[in-house]
Amino acid sequence: MRPDAVRLMTAHRSKGLEWRLVVVAGVQEGLWPDLRRRGSLLEADRIGRDGLAEPLTPGALLSEERRLFYVAATRARERLVVTAVKAPADDGDQPSRFLTELGVEPKDITGRPRRPLSVAALVAELRATTVDPRASDTLREAAARRLARLAALSDSDGRPLVPSAHPYRWWGMYEPTASEIPLRDRDKPVVLSGSALDQLANTCALQWFLGREVKADAPATAAQGFGNVVHVLADEVASGRTPADLAVLMERLDSVWDALAFDAPWKSAQEKEHARVALERFLQWHVMDRASRTPVASEHGFDVTLEAGPYEVRVRGSMDRVEQDAENRAYVVDFKTGKQSPTAAEVARHPQLAVYQLAVREGAADELFGGVRPEAGGAELVQLRQAAAKKNGGDAFPKVQAQEPLSGEWVGELLATAAGKVLDERFTPTAGQHCTHCAFRASCSARPEGRHVVE
């Protein structure tokens, strides 16, 4: 015997059956009657006993649809409810002509339903009711009982049908946990990179923690591959292993490009063209007079330990290019291949450039200057994907964004803030523009799409 339940079916399936109450939902013009020809690909509807029959004419199709609607509507013994939506604009959804043929004046219900008619919305409403201080005790208890009934439902294999109804899935009810093993040893310097500093101190510490420490970031994308290839070629030119010749660089590019996984061949071709333009700009920049600076190293690794307030911070990384300026100072260049660039104000306080300059101050470039510590003469970002302003040479040259030699205490403060967050394990989310490409949005309490995890 069938349990008490609502049966959902098509009008065709309802033939010969009857119920006390029948709801015929979504009786919209365009859907019912549906005057498109059926089985249009194989035309199975035309197969008859004596071969292929003529396709139904629109008139015959309309009669067929009307008969079907009649079948659906006459399944009700006591009560029939027919629903349709009516958009205010004439070109929006309109009720079917069959509705008027019923001979009953439709009842308009304006506005939206209190909640979507879905299981998820029902569970959400019941959960909210169980903790709503304005609801009576009886109502709250009734909501809890219904949740328990939903949570107990399972399919024939014993799998829960409505898992979200069970409190064990309500993540927000769990007490925060604390690890017994500290993330970092307080007695050792905190190891940070320039980009980590930016995330920790300026954008979002949670993003840093999940991406860098938990290593939950998405796998490397082709965009990162693009950057790596261009960096390697720039290094080869700077170190003299490859001549500063676009044809040679393009040959080198050809030999590795196909190893980058792009979503489609057209995307690969498009990006390769961008890579060509980036390399061309790099060459223009490489051979031009850069305020009489001369290159002294490329891909120069460094590892220095700095004092930052009460902390010691060990900064490791690699400088794309170190140059010597006319005053014998060290100037650091960082090549970028991203589509966005920071604003002038952001460059003035760009943590990565500042860390390079600090590192120079602490001896990172000594060996390149004959063992004598050079002063830091500034640093710059060379945006290879972006054209310089017209007055700086236009399209053929890259956009260059320079940072003055460091002054003031701001970098030290930045380092101390970042180190403090790591040691105290304060990884609170800070929403902003950087959320756009964040892989953790769906589980982040600072974002609407992730709030369900904690609420």
Contact footprint for ligand SF4 (CB under 6 A): 204, 206-207, 429-431, 434-435, 438, 440-441, 444, 446-447
Q: How many helices (H) and strands (E) does the chain have?
A: 12, 10
Question: What is the SS3 assignment for 346?
Answer: helix
Least distance to ligand SF4, CB of residue 447, Å: 5
Least distance to ligand SF4, CB of residue 199, Å: 9
Cβ closest to ligand SF4, residue 126 vs residue 446: 446
Cβ closest to ligand SF4, residue 61 vs residue 431: 431
Least distance to ligand SF4, CB of residue 209, Å: 9
Cβ closest to ligand SF4, residue 331 vs residue 440: 440
> How far apart are the C-alpha atoms of 418 and 312, rounded to whole Å?
11
Least distance to ligand SF4, CB of residue 201, Å: 14
- CB-neighbour burial class of residue 354 (10 A; exposed 0-12, middle 13-18, buried 19+): buried
Least distance to ligand SF4, CB of residue 221, Å: 17
Least distance to ligand SF4, CB of residue 228, Å: 24
Cβ closest to ligand SF4, residue 341 vs residue 430: 430
Nearest to 97 by CA among 71, 69, 116, 125: 69
> How far apart are the C-alpha atoms of 438 and 217, rounded to whole Å?
9
Cβ closest to ligand SF4, residue 192 vs residue 438: 438
Nearest to 144 by CA among 129, 124, 162: 129
290's tokens: 């850069």
Least distance to ligand SF4, CB of residue 436, Å: 9
Cα dihedral 329, 330, 336, 341 sign: negative
- CB-neighbour burial class of residue 390 (10 A; exposed 0-12, middle 13-18, buried 19+): exposed
Question: What secondary structure letter does DSSP report for 17?
Answer: -
| Ordered DSSP codes for 145-214 | HHHHHHHH-B-TTS-BS-GGGSGGG-GGGSPPP--SS-SS-TTSPEEE-HHHHIIIIIS-HHHHIIIIIS
Cβ closest to ligand SF4, residue 147 vs residue 446: 446
Cβ closest to ligand SF4, residue 97 vs residue 447: 447
Cβ closest to ligand SF4, residue 223 vs residue 453: 453
Least distance to ligand SF4, CB of residue 200, Å: 11
